[in-house]
Amino acid sequence: MSFYTDVIARSPLFHTTGAVNDLALLEPVTRAAVQAIVAEAKAMRHELRVLETYRSCERQAVLFGRGASKLKTVGVHHYGCAADLGLYILGRYIGAAEPYRFLVDLCAKHGLISGIDWGEPAKRHTFIDAGHVQRTAVQDQPRLFAGSWFPDPLYSPSPTRVAKA
């Protein structure tokens, strides 16, 4: 069994079309990393808020239909391995990507991948999702989506990083 089958699939929010920001629906290593990033950002005087954690198939379809997502079917959020963070300055949400640059280093430090560089800093990316963080390497996503794999506590999305136990 996995966090997905034991917790997410049994959640009353499993089919919701609304945004879910419940940290309990992040698998434990991802949850701890997100909490550490938010706390460390605060110490750096950056206000980050968790905007979305789990995302249902139904919500993904709504977002895709609105053009708010490029993914037609669920992504890493559906498995509790991703969160969207919002940066706020003087109480106002910041949507531009550049102010989120500090997240790349915080993600690397805490074993996550930033939607700014997708764990590949040397590569030029055409899709930037500045506030998105995840604990699944892009190359491992197909296995996750197929249900043939789920990250264990020691998994690291980057071969050059070692996840904290």
Closest CA to 131 of 106, 105, 103: 103
Residue 88's DSSP bridge partners are: 47, 93
**Domains of the chain: residue spans and CATH:** 3-146 (3.30.1380.10)
The rounded distance, in Å, linking the Cα atoms of 98 and 117 is: 12
Residues 6+ away with beta carbon under 8 Å from 137: 113, 119, 157, 158
pLDDT of 106 strictly over 60: yes
Average of per-residue pLDDT across 10-16: 97
pLDDT of residue 136: 96
**Terminal CA-CA length for the chain:** 19
pLDDT single digits (tens) 81-102: 999 999 999 999 999 999 999 9
Residue 52's DSSP bridge partners are: 84
pLDDT of 68 strictly over 90: no
Say how many C-beta atoms besides its own lie within 10 A of residue 11's C-beta: 16
pTM value is 0.92
Cα 36 off chain centre by: 14
Residues 6+ away with beta carbon under 8 Å from 45: none
pLDDT single digits (tens) 128-165: 999 999 999 999 999 999 999 999 999 999 865 444 43
